[in-house]
Amino acid sequence: MEYRVALIGIMVENPDAVETLNKILHDYGSYIVGRMGIPYHKRNVNIISIAVDAPQNIISALSGKLGMIEGVSSKTVYSNIKGEE
C-alpha cells in the first residue's frame, strides 16, 4: 500500500471539543509522526499541527473525522513524497 506524508492543520475554537479531538488522534496514533499545539489565548483558539505518514484513505478519514467535530476545522496539505510500508 502506498503511504503519503501530510500535514493536518487544526483550529480548535470550542474547548469542549478537545476530549473528542484527542480520542480521534489517539485512534490514529500509529500514523502520527509528530504533533505541535499552540494555545493562542488572545483569540481563544488552539492551533494544532499533525504530521502523518499514512495511506491516502487513512489521512482522508482522519481529516474528515476532525472536521466533523463542532468547533473544529482542519485542512490537509500533502507532500509529493510517497512510499510503501
pTM: 0.90
pLDDT digits (tens, 9 = 90+) for 26-64: 999 999 999 999 999 999 999 999 999 999 999 999 999
| Confidence category of residue 66, pLDDT binned at 50, 70, 90 | very high
Close Cβ partners of 66 (under 8 Å, ≥ 6 residues apart):
8, 10, 21, 24, 72, 74
DSSP classification of residue 69 = S
Phi then psi for residue 31, to 5 deg, are: -100, -10
Question: What is the rounded CA–CA span in Å between residue 31 and residue 85?
Answer: 11
Q: Is 62 helix (H, G, I), strand (E, B) or coil?
A: helix
